[in-house]
Amino acid sequence: MRRFAPAVPLLAACLAAPLAPIAAQTRVPLELKPGRDLPIDAEATAKIRKYTTAPEFNSPLTDYLPASATVPAPSAVLGDVAGAPGILPYTAEVNRYFRMLEAASPRVRVISIGVSEEGRERIAVAVSSEANLQHQKENDARLAQLADPRLLKLDDARAESLITASVPVYYITGTIHSPETGAPTALMELAYRLAVDESPYIRAIREHVITLITPVVEVDGRDRMVDVYRWHLAHPKANLPRLVYWGHYVAHDNNRDAMGLTLSLSRQVLDTYLGWHAQVLHDLHESVPFLYDNTVGDGPYNAWVDPILTNEWQLFGWTNVAEMGKLGMPGVFTHGDFDTWSPGYLMFLAAMHNGVSRLYETFGNGGADTETREIPPGEASRTWYRQDPPYRSVSWSQRNNNNYEETGLLVSLAFVAENREQLLRNFWAKSKRSIAKPEREGPAAWVLPADDKRPGAQAELLRVLQLQHVEVSRADRAFTVSVPPEKKAGDTDDKDKDKDKDKDKDKNKDKDKDKDKDKALATRTFPAGSYVVRMDQPYSRAADALLDRQYWSPDDPQKHPYDDTGWSFSALFDAEAVRVPDRKVLAAPMGTVEAPFRLRGGVTGGGPVYVVAQRGDDAMFMLRYALGDATVEAATEPFRAGGRDYPRGTWLVRGIAKDVLDRASAEANVAVDAIAAPKVATRPVAKPRIALLHSWLNTQTEGWWRQRLDLLKIPYRYISTQGVAADPNLAARFDVILFPPVGVGDPLRIVSGLPMWGEPLPWKTSPETPNLGKIDATDDQRPGLGFAGLDHLRRFVEQGGLLVAVEDTAQLLIASGMAPGVRVANTKSLRVVGSVLDARFPDPKSPIVEGLGDRLSVYSAEGMSFEISRSAAGGWAEEESDRPTGRGSAQDTDAPTGRPAQPQQPPRAKVERWEARPLEVEELRHNPAVIPEALRPRTLVRFGDADELLVSGLLEHGAELARRAAVVEVPVGKGRLLLFAINPIWRGSTVGSHPLVWNAILGQATGGR
Ligand SMILES: [Zn+2]
């Protein structure tokens, strides 16, 4: 099946079709000129055609290269055309080319937007006409007023005059995902075309759009990927080393940071996007043939965006499919299996800030080799939304990929050029409706009370909102507003469902009325100093989506959520945020918090003992390590001193100079009271030596843990499973080993590693791989933890160490027999997909839950939980069974005939689902598997009750998970394991549960309990 590019193009009619033409607008001449009558770079054009594997994989927009006497083409840096086989430029080379463009053309401007975690520069490149760039400041001032309609007093007439005078900004981001390698060269060539091509089509884009380009988003990962590719060119027959590190911390998840904004790339792209008041953010990916414009994607759509945006998705997506189809390029589609629910993706920064989010998946080979690729039948089949599907088998080149990326972008830019007023009018409308949110849809505001029990976690949440460019206000005085009565999670579904079943509907209507009355009557007074996130601001939707709760119906037609279904930041940060529909809240006297949010730290008072009230947050953990050799003890009971109540776990600090403590606590934002010595029992709070353990299979999930330790400036050693396999005496170096999830399916793969056939896979610094081996290095990535490594971990714990294992690493320790009396609970129909669930503390006095109150919302990836037993073999709790067949009723006891009745067995003691049941008499007889009391596992955190279990996201058949163990402690020898079925440190979004890990670490020197 071969297709040929149509000789006669095309665009004018179709581009105008989806939108009504606007009278005031200058028409854009969109007849396509493939450049025959323009000066063409014949040599480059010949190479483009040579590197394209079939004519239909190119378009008349990109199958030639315009010539320029003054402006260098990408070959000036690449030595060949963009997308040439064998050529992948480093970040610095890409940046250098854009600076050459800038030097040679007044139509190009390069801006440094910051540096990465490893210090590599990230740039944004503006390409537009000379006039547009000359007047960019004035244009930006106009766009800024459209972005914040308060500046125009929401006046449509004034906005309209700005709209017709303005040039929109279209922001394109490349290579956030490092193995997806094509975008930088495609974007280099795109910028060159936009700068020099005089065909009417390109000129129209240049004159009516400012194209803003960040060619490499993940600059650190890009350089590592180029290293790996160059190593591959030098060792063509060997397998490539696995790209285990992309960015400094995370791999694929760098595209899940748009909520927490913990990575420099997310913050810099957002600041650039909002700083330029752009209308579109278009992120380039390369994992689906041949071009999946996932703008339309699939449901459910995010429930917080403006419907104007969801219609823009359709408009852009289907225009893209239609135009590229007409250009003769096969395999372009827009509807697919990507649901548009989570706002965690980089492109979604635009969706949450009144812009248009877009994402392409094109087809990449992960490098610049030309290869024969087989497309699975499911992706190559014709279906209603993919009438012209990709081929089943295809010879594919990086140039093909570049052709698709560039053509898709040019078609989109032309669409914006033609419909720029419509796009700006939508931008204005969305911004205005964000400000009108209190009266249009509600709520009026979110209020974070001044007296939150966890001020540190609350401060972290407020800081994230500020990074999102959300305005946070602080109430000058106490204020009272009506609020809906607090609804427990269990108040909703079951009762509503029962109600639906009820045939007497009128009665229910009355009940509803009563309910409404109750709602109207409830009021709440918030103290002075409470934080108000007003919804009458331009980025109200970003705040609303983060603070609200999510509900993904188990009956949703979408059965494969693409990512987490729940993310509620107020819940995961354990900071109370009250949704207030009452517009009176907006009249409360308040002022905007201008400075970046920080709690005030430092020492106050003049007593001999320094006291740090336990508040369960990152800052206290940070402070402990900053205090060095000072003596720190934790109160084992609440106490009162100096006229103040202090909770259990409060620190008493001695042996440190006041000025030193003052500096350290000010830097950590922790308040310290200097008071007279209180009378209270204490235990030591040490600062144990920490190791963070990673495998060579995958470092993605571990990266979020490493990032948090670095952010808090915690000293730790970063060790690998191979290092553990080689070190029989880990206890000599470490007190605590953190073993976060690996995420490779079968946990035993952590032990086995990769198969040892073939050649070694080195990950180390060498002349040909200067960017590898910096975070950690190995001569060969293949060997895993091995049985020796497992044994060394066991010995480490037996000698007194604390080993923290999470999800699959916990499974591994259980499977290897290291956690007698613990198993992963079996479930039948339970469904959890990245949900936020309720958790409780069976022993509220346990040091691990200090500062956390009496409950917590936790992140569960797939609903994992544990069961515990008092036996190393069996002894699991059994659900109550029915009585056997016999005489009497179901409640009666059977009595065999022909003999006197036997004494009745005493009823079994009630055992909670998170507990181990007492063993039966027979189980205790001569049984070496019975676990001595001191070594029994015990549950520190359990899941909530069934009717309160779901906080946010998807939960089906939650009764199977309710009340089961979520965190279990297992004494082993002199040490202990701490097994997590939840992930307490995830994507910068689970700040509320971090102290479960920090408290465990700080409690280590006491030997646990
Ligand atoms: Zn990707």
Residues 414-430: pLDDT tens digits?
A: 999 999 999 999 999 99
Q: From ligand 1's centre to the CA of 118, what distance in Å?
A: 21
Residue whose C-alpha is closest to residue 190's, from 408, 417, 418: 408
Looking at the DSSP bridge assignments, the partners of residue 386 are 383
Q: From ligand 1's centre to the CA of 398, what distance in Å?
A: 16
CA–CA gap between residue 832 and residue 827 (Å, rounded): 11
Q: From ligand 1's centre to the CA of 359, what distance in Å?
A: 9
Whether 170 contacts 280, CB under 8 Å: yes
Residue 964: how many CB atoms within 10 A of its CB?
21
CA–CA gap between residue 390 and residue 375 (Å, rounded): 8
Q: From ligand 1's centre to the CA of 820, what distance in Å?
A: 41
CA–CA gap between residue 672 and residue 605 (Å, rounded): 9
Q: From ligand 1's centre to the CA of 336, what distance in Å?
A: 15
Q: From ligand 1's centre to the CA of 752, what distance in Å?
A: 28
SS3 call for 753? coil
Where would I find the H helices in 754-835? 786-798, 808-815
CA–CA gap between residue 745 and residue 225 (Å, rounded): 24
Q: What's the token pair of residue 546?
A: 């983060």
CA–CA gap between residue 985 and residue 509 (Å, rounded): 45
User: Is residue 136 over pLDDT 90?
Assistant: yes
Q: What is the pLDDT of residue 738?
A: 98
Q: From ligand 1's centre to the CA of 285, what distance in Å?
A: 4
Q: From ligand 1's centre to the CA of 700, what distance in Å?
A: 14
CA–CA gap between residue 118 and residue 278 (Å, rounded): 28
User: Is residue 695 over pLDDT 50?
Assistant: yes
Whether 242 contacts 780, CB under 8 Å: no
* pLDDT digits 0-9 by tens, 141-153: 999 999 999 999 9
Q: Which residue has the tokens 């007889």?
A: 925
Whether 220 contacts 116, CB under 8 Å: yes
Q: From ligand 1's centre to the CA of 177, what distance in Å?
A: 5
SS3 call for 44? helix
Q: Tell me which DSSP letter residue 802 carries.
A: E
* pLDDT digits 0-9 by tens, 608-645: 999 999 999 999 999 999 999 999 999 999 999 989 99
**pLDDT category, 41, cuts 50, 70, 90?**
very high
Q: From ligand 1's centre to the CA of 866, what distance in Å?
A: 34
Residue range 758-765: mean pLDDT, rounded: 96
Q: From ligand 1's centre to the CA of 84, what distance in Å?
A: 21
Cα-based angle 118, 123, 124 (whole degrees, multiple of 5): 150
CA–CA gap between residue 56 and residue 291 (Å, rounded): 13
Q: What is the pLDDT of residue 587?
A: 98
SS3 call for 757? coil
Q: Based on C-alpha coordinates, what's the Rg of the chain?
A: 31
Q: What is the pLDDT of residue 495?
A: 40
User: Is residue 468 over pLDDT 70?
Assistant: yes
Q: From ligand 1's centre to the CA of 251, what distance in Å?
A: 10
Backbone torsions φ then ψ of 747, nearest 5 degrees? -65, -20
Q: From ligand 1's centre to the CA of 17, what distance in Å?
A: 32
Report how far Cα 511 is from the mean position of its chain's Cα atoms. Answer: 41
What are the start-end ranges of the E strands in 466-622?
473-475, 479-482, 523-526, 531-534, 578-580, 590-592, 602-605, 609-612
Whether 695 contacts 719, CB under 8 Å: no
Q: What is the pLDDT of residue 261?
A: 98
Residue whose C-alpha is closest to residue 295's, from 277, 276, 273, 280: 280
Q: From ligand 1's centre to the CA of 176, what distance in Å?
A: 7
Q: From ligand 1's centre to the CA of 369, what distance in Å?
A: 19
What distances in angstroms separate CA 931 from CA 822, 837, 873, one per listed residue?
11, 31, 9
CA–CA gap between residue 999 and residue 575 (Å, rounded): 19
Q: From ligand 1's centre to the CA of 526, what distance in Å?
A: 44
Residue 255: how many CB atoms within 10 A of its CB?
24
Residue whose C-alpha is closest to residue 1000's, from 708, 736, 649: 736
Q: From ligand 1's centre to the CA of 560, what distance in Å?
A: 18
**pLDDT category, 697, cuts 50, 70, 90?**
very high
Residue range 834-852: mean pLDDT, rounded: 97
35 Ramachandran zone, left/alpha/beta (phi>0; psi -120 to 50): left
Determine what percent of the chain is predicted with pLDDT higher than 70: 92
Whether 942 contacts 914, CB under 8 Å: yes
Annotate 440-456 with b (16+ C-beta within 10 A) or e (fewer). eeebbbbbbbbebbbbb
Q: From ligand 1's centre to the CA of 513, what distance in Å?
A: 50
User: Is residue 745 over pLDDT 70?
Assistant: yes
User: Is residue 909 over pLDDT 90?
Assistant: no
Cα atoms in the 13 Å half-sphere on the side-chain side of 424? 29
Q: From ligand 1's centre to the CA of 288, what distance in Å?
A: 9
Backbone torsions φ then ψ of 972, nearest 5 degrees? -135, 115
Report how far Cα 106 is from the mean position of its chain's Cα atoms. Answer: 39
Q: What is the pLDDT of residue 18?
A: 38
**pLDDT category, 592, cuts 50, 70, 90?**
very high
CA–CA gap between residue 630 and residue 655 (Å, rounded): 5
Whether 756 contacts 773, CB under 8 Å: no
Residue range 970-980: mean pLDDT, rounded: 97
Amino acid in position 6: P
Q: From ligand 1's centre to the CA of 253, what distance in Å?
A: 10
Report how far Cα 855 is from the mean position of its chain's Cα atoms. Answer: 24
Backbone torsions φ then ψ of 134, nearest 5 degrees? -60, -40
Q: What's the token pair of residue 95?
A: 């940046």
Q: From ligand 1's centre to the CA of 179, what distance in Å?
A: 8
Q: What's the token pair of residue 113?
A: 């937007």
Q: From ligand 1's centre to the CA of 456, what distance in Å?
A: 34
713 burial (CB, 10 Å; 0-12 / 13-18 / 19+) is exposed
For 974, the enclosing helix (H) or strand (E) is none
Q: From ligand 1's centre to the CA of 405, what distance in Å?
A: 14
Instruction: Enumerate residues 6+ apart whose C-beta is below 8 A from 337.
Output: 297, 298, 560, 562
What are the start-end ranges of the E strands in 833-984?
835-840, 855-860, 866-868, 938-943, 950-952, 955-956, 965-972, 975-980
Report how far Cα 45 is from the mean position of its chain's Cα atoms. Answer: 42
The Cα diameter of the chain in Å comes to: 113
Residue 311: how many CB atoms within 10 A of its CB?
11
Q: From ligand 1's centre to the CA of 184, what distance in Å?
A: 14
Q: Which residue has the tokens 């280590």?
A: 1004
Whether 712 contacts 621, CB under 8 Å: yes
Residue range 156-161: mean pLDDT, rounded: 98
Q: From ligand 1's centre to the CA of 458, what distance in Å?
A: 33
Residues recorded for the chain? 1009
Q: From ligand 1's centre to the CA of 897, what distance in Å?
A: 73
> Measured in Å, how far apart are the chain's first and last C-alpha atoms?
70
Q: Which residue has the tokens 């790996």?
A: 228
Across the chain, mean pLDDT equals 93
Q: From ligand 1's centre to the CA of 1002, what distance in Å?
A: 39
CA–CA gap between residue 544 and residue 989 (Å, rounded): 15
What are the start-end ranges of the E strands in 424-491?
445-448, 473-475, 479-482
Residue whose C-alpha is closest to residue 278's, from 327, 322, 213: 213
Write out 71-120 in H/E/C secondary structure: CCCCHHHHCCCCCCCCCCCCHHHHHHHHHHHHHHCCCEEEEEEEECCCCC
Q: From ligand 1's centre to the CA of 825, what distance in Å?
A: 34
**pLDDT category, 891, cuts 50, 70, 90?**
confident
Residue range 697-726: mean pLDDT, rounded: 98
Residue 496: how many CB atoms within 10 A of its CB?
10
Q: From ligand 1's centre to the CA of 252, what distance in Å?
A: 7
* pLDDT digits 0-9 by tens, 487-499: 654 444 444 444 3
* pLDDT digits 0-9 by tens, 376-421: 999 999 999 999 999 999 999 999 999 999 999 999 999 999 999 9
Q: From ligand 1's centre to the CA of 287, what distance in Å?
A: 6
User: Is residue 252 over pLDDT 90?
Assistant: yes
Whether 525 contacts 585, CB under 8 Å: no
CA–CA gap between residue 876 and residue 564 (Å, rounded): 32
**pLDDT category, 511, cuts 50, 70, 90?**
very low
326 burial (CB, 10 Å; 0-12 / 13-18 / 19+) is middle
Q: From ligand 1's centre to the CA of 286, what distance in Å?
A: 6
Q: From ligand 1's centre to the CA of 89, what distance in Å?
A: 19
Residue whose C-alpha is closest to residue 180's, from 101, 255, 239: 255
**pLDDT category, 212, cuts 50, 70, 90?**
very high
Q: Describe the chain by its helix, strand, coil percentages, rounded to 5.
A: 35, 20, 45
What residues have a C-beta under 5 A from ligand 1, the ion? 177, 285
Instruction: Enumerate residues 6+ apart whose C-beta is below 8 A from 249.
Output: 117, 263, 703, 704, 706, 707
Q: From ligand 1's centre to the CA of 238, what distance in Å?
A: 25
Backbone torsions φ then ψ of 225, nearest 5 degrees? -65, -40
Whether 913 contacts 877, CB under 8 Å: yes
Q: From ligand 1's centre to the CA of 785, what distance in Å?
A: 29
Residue 469: how many CB atoms within 10 A of its CB?
19
